[in-house]
Amino acid sequence: MVVLFDRFNLSEDVYEIIFATNQQKIVAKLLIEELKLHNGELNKTEMSLFATRLHEGLVTELDEPEYRGKKVRISYNKRQFYDRILTPMKGMGLIDYDIYKKTYRLSDKFNRAMMAIGLMWIQELRKRSQFIVKK
């Protein structure tokens, strides 16, 4: 996944930076909240049940200005949930999957990856030019 952002117009909401659509942002927030409710970890069955509840329509209150204080039904296709939400979050390091315990858990690997990218950029700035420029 490629995250493009404008540092001069950086959102206060990390989900808006990472996800392309408002619906993806909302679903990702719901997933993180679900993980937090289960001490930061869900097994495969619990994740599947969450995805099924989303597929069938999950009734919740959203922390979005236009929905604040109202019950809203959010539905999201189960396959698209795995393809567009969970898999990218795993790839970015927001969520980690333990293949032995078969559990999904919140992770700080995203933060470490962003710091590593910043260090890579600093190293690039310090490199000498490898190209010969002809006038």
Give the pLDDT confidence of 27-79 residue by residue, as tens digits.
Answer: 999 999 999 999 999 999 999 999 999 999 999 988 888 888 889 999 999 99
Instruction: Please give the model's pTM, rounded to 2 decimal places.
Output: 0.87
| CATH number of 83's domain | 1.10.10
Query: Looking at the domain assignment, is residue 122 inside a domain?
Result: no
Query: Looking at the domain assignment, is residue 130 inside a domain?
Result: no
Sign (positive/negative) of CA torsion 24, 30, 31, 33?
A: positive
Distance CA 22, CA 27 (A): 9
Instruction: Give the number of domains in the chain.
Output: 1
Beta-strand relationship, 41-43 and 58-61: unpaired
Query: Looking at the domain assignment, is residue 87 inside a domain?
Result: yes
Alpha helical stretches, state H, 3-133 = 14-18, 22-37, 44-56, 78-80, 87-92, 109-126
